[in-house]
Structure 1
Amino acid sequence: MTFGCKTKQSNSEKRVDQKNETIITTKNNNPVFEGWYADPEGIVFDKEYWIFPTYSAKYEKQVFFDAFSSPDLVNWTKHEKVLDTSNVKWAHRAVWAPSIIEKDNKYYLFFGANDIQSDDEIGGIGVSVADSPQGPYKDLLGKPLVDKFHNGAQPIDQFVFHDKDGQYYLIYGGWKHCNIAKLKDDFTGFIPFEDGTIFKEITPENYVEGPFMFIKDGKYYFMWSEGGWTGPDYSVAYAIADSPFGPFKSMGKILKQDPNIANGAGHHSVIHVPNSDDYYIVYHRRPETEKDGKIRDSRETCIEKMYFNEDGTIKPIIMTKEGVKANKI
């Protein structure tokens, strides 16, 4: 059963204002909620912020998704087990990287499962549906939507992109390959491109996994994670193009480790506050306090403000413990 519970706020830090000789309390909002969570997808539904992350644990324990909602990016409510593999008969482990979209008053949650290593295994990318963001979600197809390797891409790390012409695309891929495919209107399959192919590769240089796309000022911003997901070199890079098909030439990294705060910063998403110029990056990282064997699963979800240069390029993201201030929609 799905229910909500308040999530405890992060600890505060105190600092001395030397000029006024007073103690100022600054609340640390990163991580944004307690617990180990990764691969967060942030989105806005009905003037409320939502984050759908991977539960960061051993693969065999990754059999559900929790979700989190907030009116202001600071105070978060946890919704437990919005999707559980008990409702997905073909998924049994490694449930990863949820991506959610609302369409016709239904909520579609796409997910990866089972971490398949070949076309001979059962698993891949699935899609579930619910009547509200907090679920409960049920398997839409009774089987994976993508269950094979195409163009070398492992069927994981899915993102659903809604283009300005109304078309929905699935963008996905691990193992250093990224595909884009045109979704049917009911999300039950794909529409071939004009040349008859289903999956087109749009892999930029140094791409590893974790694709994300958004439109700003008529341009397509394509973002992805580089490096090893368990290592300090995990980071976020991006490109800008005139089409969701690219070509995408890397414009460099904008988020990477800070040894004083955390490493392994990546697999992110972007929230654009409607009717505003406010953009936020939602990402995971491994705090510097986590060492040795614990580092693999010790991933926390954080938010930072995004800023752009006059030419539309993205300014490097400064990783912080303070996070962001409250911002009601």
Structure 2
Amino acid sequence: MQNIYRETFEQIHASEQLRKEVANVPKQEKAAFRYRISKAGLIAAALALALAGTVLAVASPTLWWWFEQKWEEETGSSMTESQSLVIDGLTRKVGESVTSGDVTVTVDSITVGSSQIWALLDVTGWDFDRDAQYSFDRMRAEIVPDPSGGQHGGAGYGLDSIGITREGAARMLLEFSATISTGNQLNRGDYALEIDLNDLIRRRTGGAEDEVLCEGEWSFSIPLAAESLSPTITIDRVQVLSNHMVWDQATGKDGGALEGTGGKSHPAVATLTNLQITATGASFYCDGLMDRLHATVILADGTEVENRGGGGSRMEDGGWYVSFDWPVPLDVTDIVAIRFGDAEIPLN
């Protein structure tokens, strides 16, 4: 599968001006939303945890290059062979095309994780400017059937230009992330990713209105079965200290509070159940005392990788279902610990 990526993306190029513009883009806060987007940018939304990260790299010669650059950006080191094999195993060729008017959109390939998806799109039939950014005016991305089974959950997605191929096709990367409170995994069920795209646009900067290039509709239904599955680490129950403080009031023999004795505060203990760590993220159920902070995995060589997205869903019992997304797929067998805030959990 690695060869598929290399063959598919080896022809992609972009201008030096576009490279410089992307290099100057600051980190941005991103938030999750449920199944709809306008202007096809990364969307903001109302989930308990915000998606956060950097804008996608533009002008990658290959998608492999993009994953490698993302890895180096997050860790400061080169991607290992085991990490490469994980990405290969979660990726498959699609090659499905839809034409509307003069424009053809092709879903070239897809990488599917437990709750995350990366999909590569090629757009042809237009004279694209290598210095411009392209997208779609309206977009819908949805998993069917609903992996949350009508229960608490949600999703967020975004579509970004990543360059123009030598043949003149505009190449785009769709990223999709779901919060699935049922614990179902997208690569372990009979699911499909539905994509609806409307009206090809050229993005304008400086507040100018985007230019509609070609009106049309392009719709896809892509099965999500992965080429192979990576292991899942599961911890049934674990307790961690929280930054939340609880107050203990001094009590008498009858259990009542003693006047004038004051009390003391101490960190609350949060209970996490069904903690699952996969190649593309982590999830768990927890009581209301859990800090809604970032998750960080520690690899065997000491490398730390922090989440770059996630979501949360309030449950009927007052607790939370929480999920975190890794910026790129990880080799689960190389993870030795996970940290939530200051609370580190060894995975021996």
Same fold (TM over 0.5): no
TM-score normalised by L of structure 2: 0.26
Greater fraction of residues in helix? 2
TM-score normalised by L of structure 1: 0.27
Greater fraction of residues in strand? 2
